[in-house]
Chains A and B, each alone.
Chain A
């Protein structure tokens, strides 16, 4: 989409550049008129369009060069190198807990660092904190809007952040006192324009990273919770962050890697055939996986700067909404719009298992912090933990 936007600007400007300038005036006034600045304007426009053409040629050349460089390193496929790795046995994974309580589609979920609590948000406007072992609901907050698209658990476990179409990110401190009105204690950060698409805490409770969807770009900023002011608008887009300074973005068909210190996009990958819905770092940080509407998951190696694996089957035709790795990075879990979860062997590229249970599309999937289970949220209003 970003590319189309740029090209459409080029087309518009090109047509404006060459349209002849017409001067309308009454015949009697003509000889008293200053000569219209046609020659200067035309020269300027011609110069600009020449620069534009020159730049365009350079960008095409660079793109070609990038392709060449990447192809040179493609000396072997990942699954070929992985042939000697021992295969995975049979996996028996099933639903261990079903969390029922939301009144509408579950849109997002996050694990608490205590490996036991889960926060989930739904289209019904509710944000619920669950104890995943007992399936009890510990807290429930009703947001003033529906479509709560993002939620996150603070590292200390004492607060949750959430937001969506209300164009705000709200942070609620979690209190053990059930009588306390959580909604009264919330703090909000306004997004100004556009809805909140993702949020996550940094390593401390003090800062939240937020992503908002814009027309062509998404932006994110860090907010100090205690003061509630925008520190700086950092840089464009992300849906997942591993280290403090690197971040991943899925934007239409492109997956980008941003260096948050410089605000630069340092790598960009465009091999998916449709919009990317989820990106997740490989545990070592040297690669990442993406899930897309084109029904494939792909693995991109950051140091080789290219896609190294595609996880797909002809029988899988529905898009992937959410992906996550197991702790060692050997397994990739994908939540699909055909209500299933496919488990892939990351190294060999084969499917290890397919899990059924949800009665509508899987919208969110996260592996627990200690890797003992993973949780999925679905449009069937429930969350399930699998192990």
Chain B
């Protein structure tokens, strides 16, 4: 009896796995040449608004040290 229970559990599990794989197999995929171009375009579009990339001036970055002031 317990043998049957275990096998029916494993059947259920394997069925779930097969269903999952069927779902994944039916997905529509796009070629890398196209998706990569999109990733690159996104980087280019947002390049200027990325302070860590372009390095904004020390005066506007609160974390960077400001230039010291000299007393005249």
Cβ–Cβ contact B64 & A96, under 8 A = yes
Contact of A16 among B7, B39, B47 (CB under 8 A): B7
Most interface-central of B3, B20, B44, B50 (chain A CB within 10 A): B3
Looking at the assembled complex, report how far the CB atom of B7 sits from the nearest CB atom of chain A, in whole angstroms: 4
Cβ–Cβ contact B53 & A326, under 8 A = yes
Cβ–Cβ contact B13 & A387, under 8 A = no
CB neighbours of B69 from chain A (8 A): none
Cβ–Cβ contact A82 & B36, under 8 A = yes
Looking at the assembled complex, report how far the CB atom of B25 sits from the nearest CB atom of chain A, in whole angstroms: 5
CB neighbours of A387 from chain B (8 A): 51-52, 61, 63-64
Q: For the complex, what is the distance from the CA of A41 to the CA of B7, rounded to whole Å?
A: 12
CB neighbours of B32 from chain A (8 A): 73-78, 81, 301, 304, 306, 308
Q: For the complex, what is the distance from the CA of A81 to the CA of B38, rounded to whole Å?
A: 10
Cβ–Cβ contact B43 & A347, under 8 A = yes
CB neighbours of B43 from chain A (8 A): 85, 328-330, 346-347
CB neighbours of A264 from chain B (8 A): 23
| B contacts with A, residue count (CB < 8 A) | 51
Cβ–Cβ contact B35 & A286, under 8 A = yes
Instruction: Report how many A-B pairs have Cβ atoms within 8 Å.
Output: 197
Cβ–Cβ contact B24 & A55, under 8 A = no
Residues of chain A from 302 to 347 with CB closer than 8 A to chain B in the complex = 303-306, 308, 326-331, 346-347
Cβ–Cβ contact A62 & B3, under 8 A = no
CB neighbours of A74 from chain B (8 A): 32
Cβ–Cβ contact B7 & A48, under 8 A = yes
Q: For the complex, what is the distance from the CA of A387 to the CA of B55, rounded to whole Å?
A: 8
Cβ–Cβ contact B24 & A66, under 8 A = yes
Interface-forming stretch among A4-12, A122-130, A146-154, A189-197?
A4-12
Shortest Cβ distance from A9 into B: residue: B10
**Chain A binding surface, main DSSP class:** mixed
Looking at the assembled complex, report how far the CB atom of B66 sits from the nearest CB atom of chain A, in whole angstroms: 12
Residues of chain A from 71 to 116 with CB closer than 8 A to chain B in the complex = 73-78, 81-82, 85, 88, 92-93, 96-97, 116
A219 within 8 A of B: no
CB neighbours of B2 from chain A (8 A): 16
A372 within 8 A of B: yes
Shortest Cβ distance from B13 into A: residue: A6
Q: For the complex, what is the distance from the CA of A267 to the CA of B24, rounded to whole Å?
A: 6
Cβ–Cβ contact B14 & A265, under 8 A = no
Cβ–Cβ contact A329 & B39, under 8 A = yes
Add 4 more A-B contacts to A303-B38, A347-B39 (CB < 8 A).
A9-B6, A76-B33, A328-B47, A367-B52
The 10 closest A-B pairs by CB, nearest first: A16-B3, A328-B46, A328-B50, A62-B21, A13-B6, A48-B7, A81-B36, A387-B63, A55-B14, A96-B63
Chain A contacts to B: CB under 8 angstroms: 6, 9-10, 12-13, 16-17, 19, 41, 44-45, 48-49, 51-52, 55-56, 58-59, 62-63, 65-66, 69-70, 73-78, 81-82, 85, 88, 92-93, 96-97, 116, 132-133, 264-268, 282-284, 286-287, 301, 303-306, 308, 326-331, 346-347, 367, 370-374, 385, 387
Chain B contacts to A: CB under 8 angstroms: 1-4, 6-11, 13-15, 17-18, 20-25, 27, 29-33, 35-40, 42-47, 49-53, 55-56, 61-65
21 contacts between A and B (CB under 8 A): A13-B3, A45-B3, A55-B18, A70-B29, A75-B33, A81-B40, A85-B43, A96-B65, A97-B63, A265-B20, A283-B46, A303-B30, A303-B38, A304-B32, A304-B35, A326-B52, A327-B51, A329-B42, A331-B53, A370-B51, A371-B52
